[in-house]
Structure 1
Amino acid sequence: PDGYTIGGFNDSVMTMVPNLQSNIRWDILRDFEPVSLVATVEWGLIASNNSSYKTAADLIAAAKAAPGKIDYGSGGPGSPQHLAMAMFASAAGISLTHVPYKGATQAATDVAAGQIPVGFQGLGTVAALVRGGQLRLIGVTTEKRLSQFPDVPTVSESGLPGFFFNSWFAIMAPAGTPKDIVARLNAEAVNAVADPEVRRKLEDLGFVVRGSSAPELGALTREQLAKYARVIKEMGIANE
């Protein structure tokens, strides 16, 4: 490895897929060298306009009153939307019915159409629908409220204290790439995301620009890989 082969990966590939598929031929910790975190995608709990849910607490109360009777959509079995809602339901002590779609956009569109009442989605997928009044954003899964949606409470403050979920994108190099080359790649990546034009383009796409050191990305990968291993096992989630 000489630094001329690098890859951009999302956390689904890096930390969810290895816990859902036993036949993959690579190991994210063994076969790759972390370079830098690039950006995160913040997430939100969405509800159709014809539902009665205005906060996470409303959904939790309704689900406790009617266990298993409320459907939620996801991008498919084992998708980030599936994991987010499974984690939410487990933490809240409620039972919801999973309706898998063939992609996140289709799931979001059906919430907007009133075909399904709720779901979790990356804000980049649903921001335009929210701003256009086509669906309701009833909570964000960040630690603090977002400047883009200052009137929308966090899920943590509006029904489920401590709940947090996001996704992220990172740059990786092949294992064995010399450390001085990794350091150079990291410096270039951090400089790139600090560029105002690059930041603007990423933010326009719904990303929150980050940047990190290589060790920070490595630690984040190990932490999330272990967390999703535990969540997927405890909740019996399968990539059907």
Structure 2
Amino acid sequence: MVVPLAAGSAVDAAARIVAEKMSRDLGQAIVVENQPGAAGLIGAGTVAKAAPDGYTIGGFNDSIMTMVPNLTARMPWDILRDFTPVSLVATVEWGLVVPADAPAKSAADLIALAKRKPGELNYGSGGNGSPQHIAMALFASQAGVQMRHVPYKGATQAAMGVAGKEVDAAFQGIATVSSLVKAGKLRLIGVTTPKRMPQFPDVPTVSESGLPGFEFNSWFAMMAPAGTPTEITHRLAAEVQHALADPEVREKLAAVGLTPRGSTPEELGAATRAQLAKYGALMKAANITAE
């Protein structure tokens, strides 16, 4: 399973949890291989070029599938043409983080600070077109503030950039930052879910603490190379569903801020097409570009 993101990212955590259970059930070891870089284009390209025999699959986030394709017309592959959907696995729940001793203690504080210092605050992301980039750009657009984008080579590096005070804030998957928050190296000032998360009951939602109506999450989905036989994709999708039904797997996913989902290949295909259109409209409205 090729994960085109850095080790320690939310999707990487989910991939390893689910792959371990699938390996046991299939009697076939699934090796998770991280191939980060270029907002996921490199690792996804490896999957696109692989033999369509079910032995190489991709563990992708929705940035790779539906955000980056809206940023540039010069894509090395086409998400609808060069891949076969397998299954939506989980949604990654997100939070807004700042350095542990930052003055901002809520989304409202960060917005107020950004308005007092237009263009002076910066935020980290896992790269141009990454979910971290899109989430904060949408946040800034809706809040009416200007913040500078600092792209890192991956989500984990961006989280460490916040902890090290290289940047002032970031949106991150809870799975990526939960250990840093619990260790006191980051302050979680808001979550992007509709309601507060059980893991962090004292942390308000961004919507209730500064930007009403703001919500954001991302996907972890499995894709195969185009041309992979239907019987293989449906077998893999069934194994995903079986893994997600396991209480231990569900508990592990929830502990790192992921919500188990599961889907058929057809449902993932329909969701991908809908999300491509949705993010195309949102990114155009917010003037989000690759530059």
Output the TM-score relative to the length of structure 2: 0.73
Pairwise CA distance, 1:78: 2.3
The CA deviation string for residues 14-41 of structure 1, in whole angstroms up to 9 with x for no partner, is: 1122122323343222333322111121
In structure 1, the partner of 2:180 is 129
Aligned position for 2:125: 74
Contact 2:125 2:155 in 1 (8 A): yes
RMSD: 2.4
User: Mapping of 1:105-124 within 5 angstroms?
Assistant: 105-124=156-175
* Equivalent position amino acid for 1:57 in 2: A
CA distance in 1, matches of 2:112, 2:104: 10
Q: Which residue of 1 aligns with 2:274?
A: 223
Once the two structures are TM-superposed, the CA of residue 93 in structure 1 deviates from its matched residue by 1.2
Cα shift readout 1:171-216 (whole Å, capped 9, x = no counterpart)? 2344455555544433222112112343344445543222123333
Q: For 2:75, give the aligned amino acid.
A: I
Match of 2:89 in 1: 38
- Structure-1 separation of matches of 2:230 and 2:167: 49
CA shift in 2, pair 1:151/1:204, >3 Å: closer
Q: CA deviation at 1:88?
A: 0.3
> For 1:18 and 1:5, how far apart are their aligned partners in 2?
22
5+ residue gaps in structure 2?
1-51
* CA separation of 1:138 and 1:173: change in aligned 2, threshold 3 A: same
Q: CA deviation at 1:43?
A: 0.9
TM-fit CA distance, 1:217: 1.8
Secondary structure of 1:8's aligned partner = strand
**Which digits, 9 at most, give the CA deviation of each residue in 1:26-74, with x for residues without a partner?**
3222333322111121111011133211111111122223321222122
Q: Are 1:12 and 2:37 counterparts?
A: no
Please report how far the alpha carbon of residue 170 of structure 1 lies from its aligned counterpart in structure 2 after TM superposition: 1.2
Q: Which amino acid aligns with 1:14?
A: M
Q: Which residue identity does 2:249 align to in structure 1?
A: V
Q: Percent identity?
A: 66
Give the structure-1-normalised TM-score.
Answer: 0.87
Residue 154 of structure 1 corresponds to 205
Rounded to whole Å, the distance in 2 between the matches of 1:104 and 1:34 is 24
Q: How does 1:1-240 map to 2 (within 5 A)?
A: 6-175=57-226, 179=230, 182-203=233-254, 206-240=257-291
Q: 1:87 is matched by which residue type in structure 2? A: L
Shifted more, 173-182 versus 28-37: the winner is 173-182
Structure 1, unmatched stretches of 5+, are none
SS at match of 1:121: strand
Q: Secondary structure at the match of 2:220?
A: strand
